[in-house]
Amino acid sequence: MSTVMKLSSHDRKELEKFTLFLSCKSVQVIVQSRLGQKQKTQCKAEASNSDWFNLDIPDEDDVQLQLNEAMAGQIPEPGGPSLCTEISLKTVDGDTLVLEVWQLSVSNVCDSSVRATYTVYNRMSIVLKSLITITRVMPAYRLSHNQSRDSYIICFNVYMGEPQLDVLGEDYKRVQVGQVGMPTGTLTLGVDYRTKMTISPQQAINQAHPAMMLKSDYFKPDLSPRGMRMRPSTDIATDAVKRSDKDLPPEGIRRQSGVAGHNGCSNGH
């Protein structure tokens, strides 16, 4: 492993693009696995340009909109903020319990043995496939399939920054999904999850990225929890992850901004 490596501007742009799309597809996989139903896609004889990492992962538009707002033009960069996806449980009485915090980060440690960008691409594809599997063996997956308007709903929160792990309570555990060594750094994807499921009246609820709902008719209108309303979201471009190679200038996806977060709840779908 090396901490310094020269890279052409073309290869650097390609790696940034791969990181962007892996980030977006990872959040889609995580959130869709918590909607409360099995995800099904049709097999294709030939892959299209939108089938990144050779996987057909349709984008939920509202999830993508919130993801774009949270990322605000940033991507996880070496030594920079992580992309975090927080999954929580909210009861009809308004109690909240954070179940998982997924984190995608890039360290400053470079892998000088990787000479071709397609090698990174293939390894990212393996990580994404591993993520699909791991999301379905976590405790929150079973909980998401039992959600209803009479008991609880599953919510999500996406933000850039340091993962807020204190909301997971005592004795939380970590599972590493995978790592990808790149000439620019090492990408790591993992999840920290709660092991104690008791909600106490004195439990402190994280206010750094307050929970909010998706539109009440987004999933199932009859399962919308009582008294919840969606905060209006700002007008953001929703096609950031659908651009072609030529539409992804490095300065566009590396634009800096403050820490942002956006979230929602799945209403039993």
* Euclidean distance between CA atoms 198 and 175, whole angstroms: 21
- pLDDT, tens only, 110-166: 998 888 889 999 999 999 999 999 999 999 999 999 999 899 999 999 999 999 999
User: What is the share, in percent, of the chain residues with pLDDT greater than 70?
Assistant: 67
In the block, residue with structure tokens 């605000």: 72
The overall average pLDDT reported for the chain is 77
Q: Which band of pLDDT confidence, cut at 50, 70 and 90, is reported for residue 252?
A: very low
What local confidence, expressed as pLDDT, does residue 48 receive?
Answer: 63
Average pLDDT rounded to a whole number, residues 75-94: 95
The whole-model pTM stands at 0.74
| 203, pLDDT greater than 70 | no
**pLDDT at position 266:** 58
What is d(CA 63, CA 262) in angstroms, rounded to the nearest whole number? 9
Q: Is the pLDDT confidence value at 38 over 70?
A: yes
Q: List the domain boundaries for the chain.
A: 9-36+54-70+81-246+257-266
User: Sorting pLDDT into bands at 50, 70 and 90, what band is 198?
Assistant: confident
- pLDDT band (50, 70, 90) for residue 201: low
Among residues 81, 86, 84, the alpha carbon closest in space to that of 103 is found at 84
The CATH number of 9-36+54-70+81-246+257-266, from 3.50.50.60, 3.20.20.140, 3.40.190.290, 3.30.900.10, is 3.30.900.10
What local confidence, expressed as pLDDT, does residue 4 receive? Answer: 52
Residues β-bridged to residue 188: 105, 179
Closest C-alpha to 16, from 76, 102, 58: 76
* DSSP output for 211-246: -----TTSS-GGGPPTT--PPPPP---S-GGG--GG
Least confident piece of the model among 12-16, 41-45, 57-61, 129-133:
41-45
Question: How far lies 204's CA from each of 95, 164, 168, 180, 199, in Å?
Answer: 10, 13, 11, 35, 10
Give tens-digit pLDDT for 227-240.
Answer: 333 333 322 223 33
Output the pLDDT for position 254: 33
Specify the pLDDT at position 188. 98
